[in-house]
Amino acid sequence: MSRSRTTYDEYKDTADWLLAQTSRQPRVAVMCGSGLGGLTDWLGDKIEIPYEKIPRFPQSTVAGHEGKLVFGELSSQQCVFMKGRFHFYEGHPIDKVTFPIRVFHLMGVESLIVTNAAGGLNEQFKVGDLMVIKDHLNLPGFAGVNPLIGRNEERFGTRFPCMSNAYDRRYLQHVLDSASELGYRDFMREGVYCMVAGPSYETVAESRMLRMLGVDAVGMSTVPEVVLARHLGMRVLGISLITNRSVMEYDSAVQAEHQEVLQVAQERAQALQGLVARVVEKMK
Ligand code: HPA
């Protein structure tokens, strides 16, 4: 199967366009999950660029996800924030979902922070908990949806990239340390994230299956971006906000709902923002 893919020169062209617009060279990229775009409110001296103005950028179509890049300084580090990410379930080809990651790499970004909203499968987790991602399960990858499928571009990375160290251990420790310093230990967790394609939430049988496989939290994003970032040699940190409990019993009155996800995200956004700011400081 041969599909037309974005070429190296096309990624480079978008990166050069952005560098010319901003005259900033970000070192850290932050992807803001559902309802978590408030992370950029704290930035001083920021530059915002709507996705529709950026050459070749896809457009976000989900409520609760804006569509812009924000450049600014956080904890004295130059950062680029993605307010609104692209999901596979929106119908974007998988290489469009991950398009910004290679662009960020070509702009000089070395570290990626991904945040997302996720359903809690671990019995200990409560709605509103934050979970630092220590590993992931790439379920769409098992089914043949991996952004690295196709001819490998050696200028980006190797044909068979290692994923056993996908999430940077030092960054993970920074999160746990920061959570202690900020008094967040009561709602700070650590665990395995699983990506499902969505957009339908999981059935009871699916949630039970994922839990049996060792999954702590489930969501519809993040993993393709992390795979691409690791292919590029970026260091990755992931944090999930547990916005709902996955339904594990047939007689449960609980149902996963997007409105609930957004509301919890809003309530815990401040804490997550504080955490990210503190961790970025430690990344220096
Ligand atoms: N399942 C999948 N994705 C999600 C969930 C969920 O329960 N909550 C937020 N994103």
Q: What is the pLDDT of residues 118-139, one digit of tens each?
A: 999 999 999 899 999 999 999 9
Q: What 3-state class would DSSP assign to 242?
A: strand
Closest C-alpha to 184, from 269, 121, 272: 272
Packing angle between helix 99-107 and helix 223-231, nearest 10 degrees? 40
Contact 119 CB / ligand 1 (< 6 Å): yes
Write down how long the chain is: 284
Is the backbone of residue 45 left (phi > 0), alpha (psi -120 to 50) or beta? left
pLDDT by residue, tens only, the chain of 284 residues? 445 588 999 999 999 999 999 888 999 999 988 666 777 887 878 899 999 899 999 887 666 557 899 999 888 889 999 988 888 998 888 988 999 999 999 999 999 999 998 999 999 999 899 999 999 999 999 999 999 999 999 999 999 999 999 999 999 999 999 999 999 998 999 999 999 998 999 999 999 999 999 999 999 999 999 999 999 999 999 999 998 988 888 887 766 667 776 777 777 888 888 899 899 999 87
pTM (global) more than 0.85: yes
Closest C-alpha to 106, from 58, 46, 157, 51: 157
Contact 147 CB / ligand 1 (< 6 Å): no
Contact 243 CB / ligand 1 (< 6 Å): yes
Q: Give the distance from CA 20 to its chain's centroid.
A: 26
Report the separation in Å between the CA atom of 22 and the middle of ligand 1, taken as the mean of its atom positions: 35
Looking at the domain that runs over 8-282, which CATH code has it been given? 3.40.50.1580
Strands 111-120 and 77-83: unpaired
The one catalytic residue among 90, 118, 269, 283: 90
Report the separation in Å between the CA atom of 242 and the middle of ligand 1, taken as the mean of its atom positions: 8
Report the alpha-carbon distance of residue 279 to residue 277 in Å, rounded. Answer: 6
Q: Which residue owns the Cα nearest ligand 1 atom 5?
A: 119
DSSP states of 195-230: E---SSPPPHHHHHHHHHTT-SEEESSSHHHHHHHH
Beta-carbon contacts of residue 196 (< 8 Å; ≥ 6 apart) = 139, 140, 202, 206, 218, 219, 220
Q: Which residue owns the Cα nearest ligand 1 atom 4?
A: 219
Q: What is the pLDDT of residues 14-30, one digit of tens each?
A: 999 999 998 889 999 99
Asked if 79 contacts 280 with a C-beta cutoff of 8 angstroms, the reply is yes
Phi, psi (degrees; rounded to nearest 5) at 193: -100, 140
Q: Give, for ligand 1, the residue of 34, 122, 218 to mutate: max count of ligand atoms closer than 8 Å to Cβ.
A: 218
How much is the CA Rg of the chain, to the nearest whole Å? 18
Q: Which residue owns the Cα nearest ligand 1 atom 6?
A: 119
Distances (CA, A) of 119 to 66, 77, 167, 220, 243: 21, 31, 20, 10, 6
Report the separation in Å between the CA atom of 282 and the middle of ligand 1, taken as the mean of its atom positions: 30
Report the alpha-carbon distance of residue 88 to residue 95 in Å, rounded. Answer: 9
Amino acid 255 reads: Q
Asked if 61 contacts 267 with a C-beta cutoff of 8 angstroms, the reply is no
Q: What 3-state class would DSSP assign to 78?
A: strand
Contact 40 CB / ligand 1 (< 6 Å): no
Q: Give, for ligand 1, the residue of 136, 200, 243 to mutate: max count of ligand atoms closer than 8 Å to Cβ.
A: 243
